[in-house]
Structure 1
Amino acid sequence: MLLSSLVKKIGSRSDDRNINRLELANDVHHLKQVFDRCSKAARIGVWECNLADERLSWTDMVYELFDIEPGTPLVRSEIVAMYSPAALLELQRLRSDAIEQQGGFSLDAEIVTHKGNRRWIRITATVECEDGRPVRVSGLKQDVTAEVMLLEEIRRRADFDHLTGLANRFRFHERLGGLCASETGCALLLVDLDGFKRVNDILGHQTGDVCLVETANRLSAAAENADLVSRVGGDEFAVIYNGASIHQIEAAAARIVAALQWDAGDGIMLGASVGIAWASPGSTSASLYEEADKAMYRAKTSGRNRFVAHRPAGDLDAA
């Protein structure tokens, strides 16, 4: 509204031979101040690149986004070096396509600024042409770091268990289903803590939470080269291996059993029962989970603190 009223004001005065040029200059100066305040509040700036010599022009806010002193001479090769490798590849692709098609593009790009700060900027660009030939690219750059960090946190909460930091049940089933569908050959280890109920009943749920975090740390360390380590609920955990041999899987199960035996306090000993199942052609995530669960139950009923591997009918269990 302010801009349109100023344009009307300037237009009406252009016909007036006695126009007050000082007042007009004040209006333009005021408009620039308003723009600068809005730009700073929104952390958004204007940029332009001349295609003939790759010369860059920035408003002060773009300098601030890159942690560069306003007015510093800009060298495009030095600026694009601040982009992450993935962002730079995407920027180059989009820019080339936009110039060729005489169009535009937008991109959220990660940068590491001149002062070493990690930041996300949203780039919008339009290719300007003269006589049908692209001559410059211009647009806006906005700091969207807070927005990206918020989305990452939302994604993290959706995929990871809030207490232990491991993958949660949703992400576990998603990954297991994908591996079963690809038939690349995966193994599932279900891990259930032995003695954990006594920790909650005697030492309290706060101590129980501490034990779950410790379990997650020990399990992650013992499950070397696992495809995924997850807490699937309560005191039950799961480990997925992809492309590992039977010997490697059973060695991992033995390490897990050993790592999860410790005194939780007041002489309450924790342990782990582990069930193993291997995917075969036609396996689904549900059938593989059921086989591993049955193997884990056999580990519990046969003495706990051990692993049992599921075998097809006619084969012997391994423990």
Structure 2
Amino acid sequence: MYLQTDRHRSAIRPLTDGRLVSQAAALVGLSAWSCDLATEQLEWSDGVFDIFGLPQDTHFERRDTVALYCEESRDIMLRLRAQAIEAGSGFSMEAQIRQPGGELRWLRLAANTCVENGRAVQLYGMKQDITLERLRWDELRRLAENDPLTGLGNRARFQSEFLDLPAGSERLARIGALAVFDLNGFKGINDRWGHAAGDACIARFGERLASAFPAARLIARIGGDEFAMLLPSSVPAPALEAGLRRRLNGLVTRVEWRGTLIPIGVSAGLAFAGGTPEETFAAADAALYAAKRSGRNVLRVAA
């Protein structure tokens, strides 16, 4: 299928007006840049100066701008740049930078290599400020991964950060133990004081967990009154268990709600990592139910 034209219609002409191209690019925040590889001389359009927070009359060299990239982004950018120069190809990435005034920004970087006589002589491309885009994305991700009542991780996040990890993965190796918690008699709180009081107890318990275990890799609410906590492998197992026992009573002091002090209790199960995430979770869950059968404010460790 093709388009038919006649003498009453105008053919589409190539756009050659450089000023119009620049204006159109500016509408979506695109700014051009280039780097001469022999001299490392940079050329920027106005928008790139704005992204980096640098006035156009400032004297700077390429190494000065590279230093503005945050460490992780800088390492990735330098690696991709070197690969592109060697292969005579291009790359794209999102990078975080810190302006001279301290403000953090995000940019999208697209680059290509100009090759002459088989040798890379220039890098060129576009940069785009995507700070607002990243902020919106981070907020959407926070809403998707966090429990709205406690602000902790939710079941989906616990699934992705633990249960779905493959055996032998680096992330799994950083997890030393899993602790699971269940509030005792929670239905009785709802029945006696109402669901608003129950929500207050859930929220307060979550705050206490986060405050008592700041080094935890993840604390998540995985059910109505159930919580899970991933503890780091950098702490020896005896110290993990001792720290959990030492802090258990502080987690269950009464919760003040509308002038009433509501008593809460908790059962806890602890399992040290070693098998698959599913096996560790099953072991911690079994220890939790053993604790619930034993009484209030009890910790049981999986065999």
Instruction: Give the TM-score taking structure 1 as reference length.
Output: 0.77
Are 2:251 and 1:260 equivalent residues in the alignment? Answer: yes
Are 2:289 and 1:297 equivalent residues in the alignment? Answer: yes
Structure 2 unaligned segments of length 5 or more: list them.
Answer: 1-9
Corresponding residue for residue 251 of structure 1: 242
8 A Cα contact 1:121 1:144, kept in partner? yes
Corresponding residue for residue 288 of structure 1: 280
Corresponding residue for residue 230 of structure 1: 220
Q: Which of 185, 193, 201 is residue 191 of structure 2 equivalent to?
A: 201
| Distance of 2:15 and 2:163 partners within structure 1 | 61
- Alignment RMSD (CA, Å): 3.0
SS in 2 for 1:262: coil
Distance 1:223 1:5, change over 3 A: closer
| 1:101-147 deviation digits (Å, cap 9, x = unpaired) | 22222121111123322111111112223344322211111112222
Q: Which of 267, 271, 275 is residue 269 of structure 2 equivalent to?
A: 275
| Distance of 2:231 and 2:117 partners within structure 1 | 60
Distance 1:252 1:88, change over 3 A: same
| Percent of aligned positions that are identical | 36
Corresponding residue for residue 180 of structure 2: 190
| Distance of 2:90 and 2:213 partners within structure 1 | 48
8 A Cα contact 1:198 1:268, kept in partner? no
With 42-51 and 152-161 compared, the bigger mean Cα shift is at: 152-161
| Distance of 2:100 and 2:49 partners within structure 1 | 10
Corresponding residue for residue 12 of structure 1: none
SS in 2 for 1:166: coil
1:190 positional shift: 1.6
Corresponding residue for residue 10 of structure 1: none
Q: Which of 23, 44, 49 is residue 58 of structure 1 equivalent to?
A: 44
Corresponding residue for residue 129 of structure 2: 143
Corresponding residue for residue 99 of structure 2: 113
Counterpart of 2:223 in structure 1: which amino acid?
G
Corresponding residue for residue 208 of structure 2: 218
The higher radius of gyration belongs to: 1
Q: Which of 241, 250, 264 is residue 231 of structure 2 equivalent to?
A: 241
| Distance of 2:219 and 2:184 partners within structure 1 | 19
Q: How many residues align?
A: 286
8 A Cα contact 1:125 1:140, kept in partner? yes
Are 2:62 and 1:76 equivalent residues in the alignment? Answer: yes
SS in 2 for 1:233: coil
8 A Cα contact 2:267 2:288, kept in partner? yes
Corresponding residue for residue 309 of structure 1: 301
